[in-house]
Amino acid sequence: MEDKKLKQTIQDKLSHHRVDVPDDLWARVSGALPSPIAWYKRKSTYVAAATLAALVLALWWLYDDTTIAPQDPGHSLYTACNTAEEVISPIELPIIPNVIIAKHVKEATPEPKIQSAEKAPTAIQQAPVVQEVLVAEAAQPQDSSITESSTTCDESLHCCLSDSACRLFNDPTAPCYDDIAINHIKKSGITSDRGSLFFAFHANTSTRNTVVTPYAYRCNENEMTFVHRMPFSMRALLEKRFGRWGVGAGLAYTYMAAEYESSDNVRKGLQQLHYVGVPLYVSYEFARVGKFAFYTAFGGQLDINTAGVQHETDGSIASKYFEDIEFRDELLQLSLQLRVGAAYEIVEHIDIFVEPVVGYYFDNDSKIHSRWQDSQWNTSLGLGIRAWL
Amino acid sequence: MHKEKEQNIIKACMRNDRTAQKALYDHFAPYMMALTLRYVGDADTAQDVVQEAFIKIFGSLHQFTAQGSLGSWVRRITLNAALEFLRSRNVFACIEDDEVMQMPTMNVSVIEKMQTDELMQLIAMLPAGYRTVFNMYAIEGYSHKEIAEQLGIQESSSRSQYIRAKMFLQKKLEKYK
């Protein structure tokens, strides 16, 4: 009994006892160990260097966002119209957003007059953007011969300048149809009759993989060109590690911007979209050098648009009537993403990372001209922070 | 040390990463030094033994299985290094089989009041054979049978060495009072 107490007392005092170690002992120990492999001989150094080079190339490629210059639909339209009996210069257009220069050509009818800014047309067709403004400004009825809303073709132009579909053909003998199918790129089929404010345009999207098709206009609408910038994402992730593998989820915020311009030069500005998403992914760390980790990840992400705005720039005609149009798309955006990134462990179990992303964005039939909807395959740049267990 | 961090350090040490090896050294060296001092009795010799122990540790990390505790594994290697040193000095060869004496009583309350350094000094005064058995039995918790196997002596010798160590310490404690 006494012996047990003695053992317990001594164990309590000594079993975890520590004493100071002389400073030179580590030098002696490390001197006796095999020399470490020089950094330039390590395989991981080359893997890391290759990954960094790939990242730099990817970033360069992502930011070198040279877009396919859209054809100039506005110019084509005016050129076509300029062959009419009267010449309508864009400068002479009424300074009313989205207003239609509707010209009713009748046999033996005196030459129609050109509408001016001061004399707005009596019938303003499909001008939903600023309809109230237009109505207010168009309070002075003018020459009704100019803007009757009937469907009539000026056969010399083969251009229906009315509320019906029309086409501009190179072939002057081509007929004019009131109900012609609009053969256009997928997302440009959004027309004014859907009633949305800023969607009252056909739109072209200038991205890498869309092509502006030969024109088929509704003459009462304008062509809208979107040039998308590369989306930028911030992510906060929580990841469970299993060796080199990991499973993670988190929150993502994405900012997307596009410069838009209407063919009639009325609308011009910057569209900004904000998305919040939930990513779910599997990751694999293929190299680690010190506190740097290089990894790839694959997974899905569900995004929802939280806010959007079209801000007219100072040069746009529409900016005289409004500055911003705010909107929100309630449709969920699902995507599959492949990411390759580099992470730096700032404190234990917490990394910051940068990663180029290649993603496939499923079509959700959104009316918003986001880069994701205008081009299903996309690249973006992501930054973020991740905690791992 | 956190288990996952411990695993990462072990992996890095196996890659001969000096930073990780230094981290492992910083964590365990003070403990290994204290343990070795209890067995070999002087600081200079203890440094040599600790150095040898670290070389063995870094050289055999791949044999360490994550199921066990790294601390226990390090302690076992350090103890073996200390025993190896003592064996090289023929300390255990001098231990003879003698008859088991009556277990002396020790004043534990005096030990309880002692500072750790004082107790270390007291143990360091023990002859090497007594000291080794006393450390292994009273502090490391080995049985006399296990001690006998490790030191290559009779079990009864281990028992008698322990009793003699206690008697030695009792005498010192009487002076300490």
Q: In chain A, what percentage of residues exceed pLDDT 90?
A: 14
- Does the CB of B30 have a partner CB in chain A at under 8 Å? yes
Query: A348 to chain B: which residues are within 8 Å by CB?
Result: 2, 5
Query: A15 to chain B: which residues are within 8 Å by CB?
Result: 139
Mean of the pLDDT values across residues A85-109? 34
C-alpha to C-alpha distances, B163 to A85, A268, A353, B95, nearest whole angstrom:
126, 98, 63, 13
Interface test with B, best of A23, A25, A41 (most B CBs within 10 A): A25
Query: B137 to chain A: which residues are within 8 Å by CB?
Result: 7
Mean of the pLDDT values across residues B66-88? 89
Q: How far is A350 from chain B (nearest CA, A)?
A: 13
CB contact under 8 Å between B31 and A16, yes or no, is: yes
ipTM of this complex prediction, to 2 decimal places = 0.84
Query: A21 to chain B: which residues are within 8 Å by CB?
Result: 29-30, 33, 50
Query: B25 to chain A: which residues are within 8 Å by CB?
Result: 26, 29
Across the interface, of A6, A14, A21, the residue whose CB is closest to B29 is A21
Query: A11 to chain B: which residues are within 8 Å by CB?
Result: 138-139, 141
Q: Which residues of A253-263 are buried (b: 16+ CB within 10 A; e: fewer)?
A: bbebbbbbbbb
Chain A residue whose CA is closest to B31: A18
Inform me whether the pLDDT recorded for B141 exceeds 50: yes
- Does the CB of B21 have a partner CB in chain A at under 8 Å? yes
In this structure, are B97 and B69 located in the same domain? Answer: no
Query: Which sequence spans correspond to the domains of chain A?
Result: 46-67+229-388
Q: What is the DSSP letter of B97?
A: -
CB contact under 8 Å between A11 and B141, yes or no, is: yes
In this structure, are B153 and B116 located in the same domain? Answer: yes
Across the interface, of A3, A33, A290, the residue whose CB is closest to B21 is A33
CB contact under 8 Å between B29 and A25, yes or no, is: yes
What is the widest separation between alpha-carbon atoms in chain A?
130
Q: Tell me if A138 sits within 8 A of A129, measured CB to CB.
A: no
What are phi and psi for residue A311, nearest 5 degrees?
Answer: -105, 120
pLDDT greater at residue A228 or residue A263: A228
Contacts of A230 (CB under 8 A, 6+ apart): A62, A63, A65, A371, A379, A380, A381
Report pLDDT for A161.
30
Q: How many CA atoms lie within 13 A of A333 on its CB side?
A: 29
Report pLDDT for B15.
79
The pLDDT tens digits for A223-238 are 677 788 888 889 999 9
- Does the CB of B61 have a partner CB in chain A at under 8 Å? no
Report pLDDT for B49.
94
Query: B141 to chain A: which residues are within 8 Å by CB?
Result: 7, 11
Chain A residue whose CA is closest to B20: A290
Q: What is the CATH number of domain A46-67+229-388?
A: 2.40.160
SS (H, E, C) chain A: CHHHHHHHHHHHHHCCCCCCCCCCHHHHHHHHCCCCCCHHHCHHHHHHHHHHHHHHHHHHHHHCCCCCCCCCHHHHHHHHHHCCCCCCCHHHCCCCCCCCCCCCCCCCCCCCCCCCCCCCCCCCCCCCCCHHHHHHHCCCCCCCCCCCCCCCEECCCCEECCCCECCCCCCCCCCCCCCCCCCCCHHHHCCHHHCCCCCCEEEEEECCCCCCCCCCCECCCEEEEEEECCCEEEEEEEEEEECCEEEEEEEEEEEEEEEEEECCCCCEEEEEEEEEEEEEEEEEEEEEECCEEEEEEEEEEEEEEEEEEEEECCCCCHHHCCCEEEECCCCEEEEEEEEEEEEEEEECCEEEEEEEEEEEECCCCCCCCCHHHHCCEEEEEEEEEEEEC
- Does the CB of B64 have a partner CB in chain A at under 8 Å? no
Query: A14 to chain B: which residues are within 8 Å by CB?
Result: 34, 38, 116, 119-120, 123, 139
Least confident of A164-168, A327-331, B71-75, B102-106: A164-168
- Quote the number of domains for chain B: 2
CB contact under 8 Å between A11 and B25, yes or no, is: no
What are phi and psi for residue A43, nearest 5 degrees?
Answer: -65, -40
Mean of the pLDDT values across residues B112-133? 88
In this structure, are B64 and B110 located in the same domain? Answer: no
Task: Provide the CATH number for the domain around residue B32.
Answer: 1.10.1740.10
Give me chain A's average pLDDT, please.
64
Inform me whether the pLDDT recorded for B176 exceeds 60: yes
Q: Residue B77 sits in which domain range? A: 3-88
Report pLDDT for B96.
67
Task: Provide the CATH number for the domain around residue B136.
Answer: 1.10.10.10
C-alpha to C-alpha distances, A280 to A237, A334, A387, nearest whole angstrom:
9, 11, 14
Least confident of A39-43, A287-291, A376-380: A39-43
- Interface A-B, measured as beta-carbon pairs within 8 A, has a size of 91
Q: How far apart are CA B19 and CA A349, in angstroms?
A: 18
- Does the CB of A10 have a partner CB in chain B at under 8 Å? yes
Least confident of A100-104, B50-54, B163-167: A100-104
Mean of the pLDDT values across residues B71-96? 86
Taking residue A370's Cβ as centre, other Cβ atoms within 10 Å add up to 27
* B-contacting residues in A 202-261 (Cβ below 8 Å): none
In this structure, what token pair is assigned to residue B119? Answer: 């107790």
CB contact under 8 Å between B21 and A11, yes or no, is: no
State the distance between the two ends of chain A, measured CA to CA, in whole angstroms. 46
Q: How far is B91 from chain A (nearest CA, A)?
A: 23
- Does the CB of A22 have a partner CB in chain B at under 8 Å? yes
* B-contacting residues in A 305-324 (Cβ below 8 Å): none
CB contact under 8 Å between B139 and A32, yes or no, is: no
Q: How far is B78 from chain A (nearest CA, A)?
A: 14
Q: Which of A94-98, A261-265, A372-376 shows the highest mean pLDDT?
A: A372-376
- Does the CB of A38 have a partner CB in chain B at under 8 Å? no
Taking residue B90's Cβ as centre, other Cβ atoms within 10 Å add up to 9
Taking residue B22's Cβ as centre, other Cβ atoms within 10 Å add up to 16
pLDDT greater at residue A36 or residue B78: B78
Interface test with B, best of A2, A4, A6 (most B CBs within 10 A): A6
The pLDDT tens digits for A336-361 are 999 988 898 888 888 999 888 888 99
- Does the CB of A33 have a partner CB in chain B at under 8 Å? yes
- Does the CB of A4 have a partner CB in chain B at under 8 Å? no
Query: B138 to chain A: which residues are within 8 Å by CB?
Result: 6-7, 10-11
